[in-house]
Amino acid sequence: MTPKTKTRPASTSRSSAGPLTVGQLSRKIVQLLEKEVGRVSVEGEVSNLRVPASGHAYFVLKDSEATINCVCFRGAFGRLTSQIENGKQIEVRGRVTAYAARSEYQIIIEGARAAGLGELMLQFVELKNKLAAAGLFDEDRKKPLPPLPRSIGIVTSSTGAALRDILNVLNRRAMGLDVRISPCAVQGEAAPAQIVRAIKLLQSGDLKSRVDVIIVSRGGGSIEDLWAFNDERVVKAIAACKIPVISGVGHEIDTTLADLASDLRAPTPSAAAEIVTAGYADLAENVNGLTRRLARAQGHRLERARNLLDRLADSWALARPDQILADPMRRVDEAHETLDTLVDETLSEARAQWLELDHRLALANPRETVREAVGHLGELSARLSAASPVRVWGPKLAAQRTETQNLALRLRRAAAARVATARQNFSATADRLVAVGPPSVLKRGYSFITTEGGRRVITGPGQAKLNQTLKVHSHKGTWKATPLPSNEPELFDDV
């Protein structure tokens, strides 16, 4: 028997699979509209405008032939409230889609402006073609910008936000540049003539007083607001300018004929200032880079020198400076302690000698000697008075008088000699006392330390506290001092 061949059934059409649902058909229509029609620009009259609590706007755009539903969501409508009004002829930009729930097609509005701009756009295109044919937009006639301009001219309104934006950028990126502002109107019928005059004014004067680059600028706005920069006189003035011109008119989406005629177009006024100062920014970045490289090179060089010094120290067994100074500092500390001890001992010995001499001097006081001699003389006089002069006659009385006179003379001489000897001993003792007294010791270079009030003498390191204020007394005067830790050789910290 011949085996039966299995065959695959042919593909069936959509109609054989069953009909579409209403929702499926509506979604297909939505996809088809969005794919085939997509974004459009439509002009018509606003009708049946209503804005519910949601903030979205719903209206009909109509002309003499048809109407179409439009939806402008709250975010876009907040920007376009003045444009979308009942009975107003406007041009809208948006995306064609369908509301699947009711199978109604509509336009979701993204932008709107007053109708009649088609005339302006026609003028724009015609003038653009004319000036392009004249070669005003050719790339080969555009002048290069100076890399580091020293003087910058600005043609814009003196009260506009564009001027503030430009000056802020210039001050931030290249402070100190010579900025010359040639003010003019940037909107209205008088604006083109003023713009041309402002450009010519920056070109006047000798070469030294001219600017290096000119920025022609204004902020954003509608096509009517920017129309002065589509004026033929402005375009020709920019093209004929001998100084490089940067155009920074409007926002990035705005394009004017002045942009095409300028040597370079910037998307915004701030961007124009950034382009002018780009060379300074690059120069600053190069300087910063060189500074960082120099710092790294110095660090590497110091590190290599430090490593070399360590290797030499290891190979030559060189001691570090603190190691070299350790022994001398220790000897200085020991000498300082010895000197303190010697001063204390000397002062103590001098004080003891002074007390002893003072006691001896008190014992050898001349007053005592004189008082003793006077006592002897009084005793002798009493003895003489006791002898009755009636019983002493003739030679005996004369001999006694002579003996008395001799004894008095000897007494006076003995008293004078005793006084002279006592005076000499007193002078010698005083000289010795002065020689060993504290002033003489201080005069020989010694000093002693007391507390700040002078109530207590400091004789050793243990009697003072760290950072306590002390007084050092010397022959020349006194000064304040603070004790240091004994284990930190502060005397050699600067070596």
Q: Give the model confidence (pLDDT) of 7-34 as tens digits.
A: 444 444 444 567 878 778 778 877 887 7
Q: What is the mean pLDDT of the chain?
A: 80
The model's pTM is: 0.42
- Phi, psi dihedral angles at 93 (to 5 degrees): -120, 135
Of 280 and 71, the structure prediction assigns the larger pLDDT to 71
Structural fold of domain 134-282: Rossmann fold (3.40.50)
Of 18 and 185, the structure prediction assigns the larger pLDDT to 185
Q: CA nearest 268: which of 279, 260, 277, 259?
A: 259
Q: Say what the pLDDT of residue 5 is.
A: 42
Residue 493 pLDDT level (bands cut at 50, 70, 90): very low
Q: Say what the pLDDT of residue 270 is.
A: 92
| Side-chain-facing half-sphere of 263: CA atoms under 13 Å | 19
Judged by DSSP in three states, 107 sits in strand
**Which homologous superfamily does the CATH classification assign to the domain defined by 21-115?**
Nucleic acid-binding proteins (2.40.50.140)
Q: Say what the pLDDT of residue 431 is.
A: 77
Same fold? 21-115, 134-282? no
- Angstrom CA distances, 461 to 23, 243, 333, 442, 450, stand at 105, 84, 12, 20, 12
Q: In what order do the strands lie in the sheet with 151-156?
A: 178-183, 151-156, 213-218, 245-249, 264-265
pLDDT tens column, 159-179: 988 999 999 999 988 888 889
Greatest mean pLDDT among 265-269, 339-343, 357-361, 429-433: 265-269
Lowest mean pLDDT among 20-29, 107-116, 375-384, 456-465: 375-384
Beta bridge pairs of residue 105: 98
144 Cα distance to chain centroid: 38
Query: In the chain, pLDDT over 90 holds for what percent of residues?
Result: 24
Q: Do 271 and 248 form a contact (C-beta atoms < 8 A)? A: yes
In this structure, which long-range contacts are made by residues 98-105, counting pairs with CB atoms below 8 Å and at least 24 apart in sequence?
Answer: 98/26, 98/29, 98/30, 98/33, 99/69, 100/23, 100/26, 100/27, 100/29, 100/30, 101/26, 103/26, 103/29, 104/69, 105/29, 105/33, 105/68, 105/69
pLDDT tens column, 58-112: 999 988 888 889 999 988 888 888 788 888 888 888 888 887 777 788 889 988 8
Average confidence (pLDDT) over 391-396 = 54
Rounded Cα distance, 258 and 136, in Å: 10
Structure tokens that stand for 71 in this block: 């939806």
Q: Say what the pLDDT of residue 245 is.
A: 95
Q: Say what the pLDDT of residue 491 is.
A: 40
Q: Say what the pLDDT of residue 454 is.
A: 67
Query: In the chain, pLDDT over 70 holds for what percent of residues?
Result: 84
Q: Say what the pLDDT of residue 8 is.
A: 45
Beta-carbon count within 10 A of 22 CB: 10
Rounded Cα distance, 42 and 112, in Å: 9
- Phi, psi dihedral angles at 209 (to 5 degrees): -95, -5
Greatest mean pLDDT among 121-135, 144-158, 457-471: 144-158
- Angstrom CA distances, 326 to 317, 322, 339, 440, 483, stand at 16, 6, 20, 35, 20
Domain assignments of the chain as residue spans, ordered by start: 21-115, 134-282, 329-385+395-437, 448-492
Q: Do 136 and 263 form a contact (C-beta atoms < 8 A)? A: no
Average confidence (pLDDT) over 122-126 = 81
DSSP 71: E
Lowest mean pLDDT among 100-114, 200-214, 440-454: 440-454
Of 212 and 441, the structure prediction assigns the larger pLDDT to 212
